[in-house]
């Protein structure tokens, strides 16, 4: 498998075909492909401006990470995916983009440069610290979790208000390593995030990645967050966060059942930055 990826490249039709074939076999009819913005050299400056990359141990570790991941050209990604889209009817091509407070203008100018079917906004950083990196997860112990979550949701609301994104990803991914205050105290923030999504006409997702890839072993959003999103009328997409072809569709049935339990009857997808709905069944 890795050999195919190395020989043909991770933006090749051969590599994408593996996802599509397995996804079809698992009952998926509508596909959206994304890669992370930090993978692309054209966007490195944006990350350098907002990540902690100084000479502290965390800064050095994150600099090494950025050097390792930020190696591709976005043109190769888009060219490869749009070429593949010619043979995969309905394939939507997007990006998952880190939001940093204060970076709206720079990010908006970057995103304007490329044709995209959809843009997912996400928050993976707290004041420059990439909090989902397992190598530095002990940093959670330095924080008052109530304060940390309050700050995180404020940044998520900033991402929503920026109007740059069609979909806001995994809003409660701060729980990735299991550090979370009693959820009862988060319900107010959940409601504020849901109200902001509705007010800005943005969708959100059920993402199963944290269920099968991280210690918390829970989807994003949590069941109570999902219920609140439904009650506010926020549209949702489903994502298996497939980093490899074998991951595609992982736990999507669980996600669908959770959506239905919450009351959802439809899911959405985007093409040419226009939202479409399909029944959930």
> For binding to Zn ion (CB under 5 A), which residues are involved?
122
The distance of closest approach from Cβ of residue 169 to Zn ion in the complex, given in angstroms and rounded to an integer, is: 5
Q: Which residue is nearest to Zn ion (CB)?
A: 122
Alpha-carbon gap, residue 214 to 89, rounded angstroms: 33
Q: What Cα–Cα distance (Å) separates residue 250 from each residue in 220, 239, 255? A: 14, 9, 9
Cis peptide before 221 (omega within 30 of 0): yes
Beta-bridge partner residues of 266: 279
Give the residue with the Cβ less far from Zn ion, 124 or 180: 124
The distance of closest approach from Cβ of residue 263 to Zn ion in the complex, given in angstroms and rounded to an integer, is: 25
Give the residue with the Cβ less far from Zn ion, 148 or 220: 220
The distance of closest approach from Cβ of residue 62 to Zn ion in the complex, given in angstroms and rounded to an integer, is: 16
Give the residue with the Cβ less far from Zn ion, 216 or 263: 216
Residue 217 DSSP code: -
The distance of closest approach from Cβ of residue 122 to Zn ion in the complex, given in angstroms and rounded to an integer, is: 4
Break the chain down into helix, strand, coil percent, rounded to 5. 50, 15, 35
Give the residue with the Cβ less far from Zn ion, 122 or 227: 122
The distance of closest approach from Cβ of residue 41 to Zn ion in the complex, given in angstroms and rounded to an integer, is: 20
Alpha-carbon gap, residue 16 to 33, rounded angstroms: 9
Give the residue with the Cβ less far from Zn ion, 122 or 204: 122
The distance of closest approach from Cβ of residue 46 to Zn ion in the complex, given in angstroms and rounded to an integer, is: 16
Give the residue with the Cβ less far from Zn ion, 113 or 243: 243
The distance of closest approach from Cβ of residue 96 to Zn ion in the complex, given in angstroms and rounded to an integer, is: 6
For residues 201 and 234, the answer to whether their CB atoms sit within 8 Å is: no
Strands 203-207 and 167-168, sheet pairing: parallel
Alpha-carbon gap, residue 263 to 278, rounded angstroms: 15
Chain position carrying tokens 């991914």: 173
CA 250 to the chain's CA centroid: 15
Nearest to 12 by CA among 75, 96, 77, 73: 77
Give the residue with the Cβ less far from Zn ion, 227 or 239: 239
Beta-bridge partner residues of 267: 278
């Amino acid at each position: 498998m890795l050999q195919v990826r190395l020989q043909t490249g991770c933006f090749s039709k051969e590599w994408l075909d593996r996802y599509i074939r397995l996804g079809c076999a698992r009952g998926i009819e509508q596909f959206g492909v994304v890669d992370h913005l930090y993978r692309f050299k054209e966007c490195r400056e944006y990350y350098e401006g907002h990540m902690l990359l100084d000479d502290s141990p965390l800064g050095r570790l994150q600099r090494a990470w950025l050097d390792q991941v930020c190696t591709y050209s976005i043109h190769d990604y888009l060219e490869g995916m749009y070429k593949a889209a010619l043979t995969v009817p309905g394939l939507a091509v997007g990006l998952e983009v880190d939001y940093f407070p204060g970076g709206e203008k720079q990010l908006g100018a970057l995103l304007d440069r490329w044709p995209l079917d959809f843009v997912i906004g996400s928050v993976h950083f707290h004041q420059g610290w990439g909090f989902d990196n397992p190598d530095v997860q002990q940093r959670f112990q330095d924080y008052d979790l109530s304060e940390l979550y309050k700050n995180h949701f404020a940044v998520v609301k900033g991402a929503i208000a920026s109007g740059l994104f069609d979909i806001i990803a995994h809003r409660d991914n701060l729980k990735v390593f299991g550090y979370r205050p009693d959820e009862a105290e988060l319900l107010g923030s959940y409601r504020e995030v849901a109200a902001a999504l509705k007010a800005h006409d943005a969708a959100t997702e059920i993402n199963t990645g944290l269920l099968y890839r991280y210690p918390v072993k829970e989807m994003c959003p949590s069941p109570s967050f999902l219920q609140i999103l439904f009650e506010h009328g926020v549209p949702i997409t489903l994502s298996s966060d497939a980093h490899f072809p074998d991951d595609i569709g992982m736990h999507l049935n669980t996600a669908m059942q959770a959506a239905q339990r919450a009351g959802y009857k439809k899911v959405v997808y985007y093409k040419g930055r226009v939202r479409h709905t399909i029944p959930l069944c």
